[in-house]
Amino acid sequence: MRYTIDTTQNNPINLEPKTVYEEVIQNLWFLYSSIEYDVPLDRALGLNATYIDKPIDTAKALAITDIYDKTEEYEPRAEIVNIDFTVDYEKGILRPKVEVEVNGEYENEEYSG
């Protein structure tokens, strides 16, 4: 099952996800919405901010690489299908929209942790 994680939308935190699928989606939303060094106990969690103040095309390329790397590191249960961005050229804001697929072996598994 595919799901699009849109970081322009608020996603309430669910402390009791019912399935691994829900947990993976929530983890990815948090990962893509955070910036490195903002999470106290894991400073590497979140996207790298090195692309701030770069031209939009350069920033997109750097962000795509970072999204792939961070997804592989923090949520290997997900596979990226597509990455798109919402761009506000006036304000220079670039927000990722990432389409993912939860690896089939986890899709309907109940959450036990």
Cβ pair 17, 113 in contact under 8 A = no
Cβ pair 101, 2 in contact under 8 A = yes
Can you give the pLDDT at residue 75? 95
pLDDT tens for 25-55 read: 999 999 999 999 998 898 999 999 888 888 8
Q: Which domain holds residue 26?
A: 2-102
The domain tally of the chain equals: 1
108 vs 52, residue with greater confidence: 52
Domain for residue 83, yes or no? yes
Q: Which has the minimum average pLDDT: 59-63, 78-82, 102-106?
A: 102-106
Domain for residue 19, yes or no? yes
Domain for residue 112, yes or no? no
To which residue do tokens 């955070």 refer?
A: 34
- 95: domain CATH number is 3.10.450.40
**Phi, psi for residue 110 in degrees, rounded to 5:** -75, 150
Domain for residue 111, yes or no? no
Domain for residue 80, yes or no? yes
Entry pTM: 0.85
In this structure, the number of other CB atoms found within 10 A of the CB of residue 1 comes to 10
pLDDT tens for 67-81 read: 999 999 999 999 999
